[in-house]
Amino acid sequence: MELWYTEQHTDNVRFSIKVDKHLYSGQSEFQRIDVFKAQEFGTFFTLDGLMMVTEKDEFIYHDMIVHVPMATNPKIKNVLVIGAGDGGTVRELTRYTSIENIDMVEIDKMVVDVCKEYLPQTACKLDDPKVKLYFEDGLKFVRSKENTYDLIIVDSTDPFGPGEGLFTREFYGNCYKALKEDGILVNQHESPYYDSYAKSMQRAHQRIQEFFPVCRVYQAHIPTYPSGHWLFGFASKKYDPVADLDEQAWNSLGLKTKYYNTDIHKGSFALPNYVRELLAGAGK
Ligand code: SAM
């Protein structure tokens, strides 16, 4: 008998992974959490039947969500991470000795507990002394913050269920307020490829643009996300991610990375024409 995990990417497209074992299934207050073991992708976990992290390709997502802003402003010291319960984003951030504090706000404690048990590859730094964990709604957490963070990373689920609030005008406005005068906001920005994802991506881009003078989008290839073509948003009060990239400063840190390098950094902001058009048409 064969066991397959199948995810519905659109009404007409499904993506399947052959599974060796269904390791865990549980229902939290917010979502259903499942963990599987597979030959090709190693251990992976899903929330409400949507892929979050696999051992095999998580390095791409976590490298790109962390090292792009860190290489743009190497002076970042105080970081807020929203979502990210698997710990991969925090793991990459803790590699920078220059960072003094990481506040991580995850709505669902059960995600963190499950990942600590089944995905130590990503969860390994969640107990680092620089990391403060808050089990709260990120939307509420940022409301009271002003001029506090150098960097906010929004490593959220898609814009429905608990993640919905993290794609609203209110949230982006509060992130702007919570950032210092040279602050950077990076978020997972959905995919441009399938219509329903592209619409969420356009909406997010339009809303972020209402607050931030610098508003760019960059891309990576993530095999287990719908279509494999995934975007990240880079918004900032001051820095341009390409013009202000200090390649020498980042390369002199000697961080070993499997995906990110400063050539990829520059190249990831070069977008295909159809994506440029979607972004230009956002809100029109
Ligand atoms: N890399 C993943 C992806 O894009 O598929 C996202 C990973 S991470 C597991 C997303 C986390 O965001 C989840 O653990 C979820 O519980 C959390 N989350 C969703 N809505 C949230 C909210 N409003 N505040 C804080 N965390 C939230």
Here the CATH number for the domain that contains residue 43 is 2.30.140.10
Closest CA to 252 of 58, 101, 97, 62: 97
For position 160, what pLDDT does the model report?
84
Closest CA to 217 of 226, 197, 208: 208
Q: Whose CA is nearest to atom 27 of ligand 1?
A: 83
Q: Are residues 62 and 49 in the same domain?
A: no
For position 1, what pLDDT does the model report?
87
The answer to whether 155 is a known catalytic residue is yes
For position 48, what pLDDT does the model report?
96
For position 220, what pLDDT does the model report?
98
Q: Are residues 233 and 106 in the same domain?
A: yes
- As a whole number, the mean pLDDT across the chain is 96
Closest CA to 250 of 29, 6, 241: 241
The number of distinct structural domains making up the chain is 2
How many Å apart are CA 125 and CA 111, to the nearest integer? 15
If phi over 0 gives left and psi between -120 and 50 gives alpha, with beta otherwise, what is residue 246? beta
| 231 CB within 6 A, ligand 1 | no
| 158 CB within 6 A, ligand 1 | no
CA-to-CA separations, 231 to 109, 204, 228, 237, in angstroms, rounded? 27, 11, 10, 20
Residue 30 Cα: closest atom of ligand 1: 16
Q: Are residues 46 and 63 in the same domain?
A: no
> Ligand 1: which of 60, 92, 105, 107 to mutate, most ligand atoms within 8 Å of CB?
107
Q: Which domain holds residue 139?
A: 58-280
For position 149, what pLDDT does the model report?
98
CB hemisphere CA count around 124 (13 angstroms): 9
CA of 164 to the centre of ligand 1 (A): 10
Q: Are residues 129 and 252 in the same domain?
A: yes
Q: Are residues 270 and 205 in the same domain?
A: yes
Checking 259-264 for CB contacts under 8 A at 24+ apart, the result is 259/59, 259/60, 259/63, 259/64, 259/220, 260/63, 260/64, 260/67, 260/68, 262/71
| 106 CB within 6 A, ligand 1 | yes
Closest CA to 233 of 174, 190, 267: 190
Element at 217 (helix H, strand E): strand 214-221
| 190 CB within 6 A, ligand 1 | no
Choose the final residue of a domain: 14, 38, 54.
54
Q: Which parts of the chain have pLDDT scores under 50?
A: none
Q: Are residues 183 and 167 in the same domain?
A: yes
